[in-house]
Amino acid sequence: MTLAGKQIVVGVGGGIAAFKAVELVRELQRRGAKVRVAMTASACRFVGPVTFAGLTGAPALTDLWDPRYPGEAHVELAEWADAIVVAPATANLLARAAQGMADDIVLATLSCARGPVLVAPAMHERMWRAPSTQRNVERLRADGVTLVGPVKGALANGSVGEGRMVEPNEIADAVQRALRTHDLSNSTVIVSAGPTQEDLDPVRFLSNKSSGRMGYALAAAARDRGAEVILVSGPVDLAAPSGVETLRVRSAREMQHAIDDALPRADVVIMTAAVADYRPADPKPSKIKKQGDSMSVELIKNPDILAELGKKRTGKRPVLVGFAMETNDVIAYGKKKLVEKRVDLVIANEARVAFGGDDTQATLIDHKREDTLPPMGKLELAHHILDRVKLLLGAAPGGATRNRRGRAPRAPRPVRRPRGRSRSKA
C-alpha cells in the first residue's frame, strides 16, 4: 500500500485510452490512495461518469458549474488533491493546459494544483510529433509538469507508433514517485556526468559522445528527493541544475581530483560519466603540425575512478554506483563490472540507446538481483536508480536515515583545485 493516505485526482481527457483511466483509478486505489475523478466533456463520450462514481464513491466532476458544489468545484478539488494526474491527455488538452486555459473542470483544477501534476499523453503518432504538440509539451515540462510517456505501441486505429498511453500501473508508479517525500534528505550524493576531454595539444583532444543527460537527470532527481548533490561534470551542453553544487572539469584526472575532494562528504557516489580510459601520453604544449600520411599517438591509461573508489572503500560507505555502457553482452559485462570494480550497483545499458537522447533502457544489477526495466525517460530511470540507492543506504551500517550528528568527525582535507575547474552553485 504505497500510496496509503494520499489523495489523487484523476483528470480524464477525451481519447479512446479513457477506458484505461478506469484501470488507473483501480490501481491507485489498490495502492491505498483515495481517488476522485474529473472529466472533460469529450471524455464523457468515451466512458461514463457513473463508472468512476461507482469506483470512487464520489461523483465524477464533469462540469465547472456543478450545482452540488456551491463553492468552486475546481478549487475544492485541487485543494483536496495531493497530486493530479491527467490520463489520457489529448493533444488538445495539452495545448490548452500549456496556455493555462481553465474553461473546463479538468483544466481549471490543473490551474490551481497545489501538488505535483502528471500528464499521460495518448494520441496518434503524427499528432504527438507535430511541432505544436512538442512545443506545448516543452512548455508544460518547463512549468514543472511531469510527462509520463507516451510509448511506442499499438494505437487505436491499428497502426503502431509512438503515442500510446503508458499502462495504468506505470502511471501509478510515476504518481508514487512524484509524491515521494524527501527520502534522501540525510544524504550527500556525488554524481559524475558527461564525457572527459583528454588533450593532445592546446587545440585538440580525445573525447566521446556522452551528452551528460543521465547524470544531470540523476542530480536533479536526487536534489528533488532532498539530497545534497555535488555534480562533477565533464564538458556538456547542459545548464547546471539549480540547487546543485556543480563542479566543471575536463579530463579524467581533474574529475578524479574533484571527486576525491568531495568524497569525505559523500554517502553515495554515482559514476555516470563516460570517463576516457586512456589519455595521450605526451600532450604537446603547442599545436601538432601536419606530418606524413599517418601518425600515431601513444596513449596511457587513465585512473579508473570508480574502481579506485571501490578498492579504497573499507566499510559500506559511500554506496558506489557505476554504469556499464556496452555495444554487446550488456548484462554479462555489467555483472563483471559489479564484481571487478567492487561496487554496489551497476546500471547496464546499450550504447546505441543510452547515448544522447532523452530516453533510455537499462538493467539494474546489484549483488542480489537484476532488474531489466522497460524503456523510459532518463529522469524516470534516475528515480528507479535512486530507489535502489535508497535501499542500499538502508542496508549499509548507519541506515538510510543516518543522522550526521552520529558520524565520527573527519579531519578536513586540503582542497585541490585543478586547472580549468570551475565551481558554481546555481
Phi/psi for 134 (5° steps) reads -65, -35
Q: Does residue 252 belong to the site contacting ligand C5P (CB under 6 A)?
A: yes
Smaller CB separation from ligand C5P, 56 or 210 = 210
Rg for the chain (alpha carbons), in Å? 24
Q: Does residue 258 belong to the site contacting ligand C5P (CB under 6 A)?
A: no
Phi/psi for 413 (5° steps) reads -105, 145
- The distance of closest approach from Cβ of residue 310 to ligand C5P in the complex, given in angstroms and rounded to an integer, is 9
Smaller CB separation from ligand C5P, 56 or 246 = 246
Q: Does residue 94 belong to the site contacting ligand C5P (CB under 6 A)?
A: no
**Scanning residues 163 to 202, which ones bind ligand C5P (CB under 6 A)?**
192
In this structure, the strands spanning 7-12 and 34-39 are parallel
Q: Is the peptide bond before 195 cis (omega within 30 degrees of 0)?
A: no
DSSP SS3 for 172: helix
Question: Around Cβ 33, how many Cβ atoms within 10 Å?
Answer: 24
Please, what's the largest Cα pairwise distance for the chain?
Answer: 86
Indicate the Cα dihedral angle 404, 405, 410, 414, nearest 10°: 60
Q: Does residue 277 belong to the site contacting ligand C5P (CB under 6 A)?
A: yes
- The distance of closest approach from Cβ of residue 275 to ligand C5P in the complex, given in angstroms and rounded to an integer, is 4
Phi/psi for 247 (5° steps) reads -110, 120
Written as nine digits, the cell of 397 is: 551500517
- The distance of closest approach from Cβ of residue 324 to ligand C5P in the complex, given in angstroms and rounded to an integer, is 5
Q: Does residue 216 belong to the site contacting ligand C5P (CB under 6 A)?
A: no
Residues labelled as active-site residues: 208
Name the DSSP class of 192. Answer: E
Q: Does residue 133 belong to the site contacting ligand C5P (CB under 6 A)?
A: no
Q: Does residue 275 belong to the site contacting ligand C5P (CB under 6 A)?
A: yes
Q: Does residue 271 belong to the site contacting ligand C5P (CB under 6 A)?
A: yes
Smaller CB separation from ligand C5P, 74 or 337 = 337
Nearest in space to 354 (alpha carbons), one of 319, 381, 387: 381
Written as nine digits, the cell of 49 is: 461518469
- Interface with ligand C5P by CB under 6 A: which range of 122-130, 270-278, 352-360, 408-416? 270-278
Q: Does residue 105 belong to the site contacting ligand C5P (CB under 6 A)?
A: no
Q: In whole angstroms, how far apart are CA 310 and each of 150, 271, 284, 354, 417?
A: 38, 12, 33, 24, 23
**Scanning residues 298 to 327, which ones bind ligand C5P (CB under 6 A)?**
302, 304-306, 322-324
Contact in structure between 13 and 90 (CB atoms under 8 Å): yes
Q: Does residue 273 belong to the site contacting ligand C5P (CB under 6 A)?
A: yes
Which amino acid appears at position 349 of this protein? N
Smaller CB separation from ligand C5P, 37 or 275 = 275
Size of the site for ligand C5P (CB under 6 A): 14
Q: Does residue 337 belong to the site contacting ligand C5P (CB under 6 A)?
A: yes
Written as nine digits, the cell of 228 is: 545534497
- Interface with ligand C5P by CB under 6 A: which range of 6-14, 200-208, 209-217, 297-305? 297-305
Q: Does residue 219 belong to the site contacting ligand C5P (CB under 6 A)?
A: no
Smaller CB separation from ligand C5P, 291 or 327 = 327
Applying CB under 6 A, the residues found at the interface with ligand C5P are: 192, 252, 271, 273, 275, 277, 302, 304-306, 322-324, 337
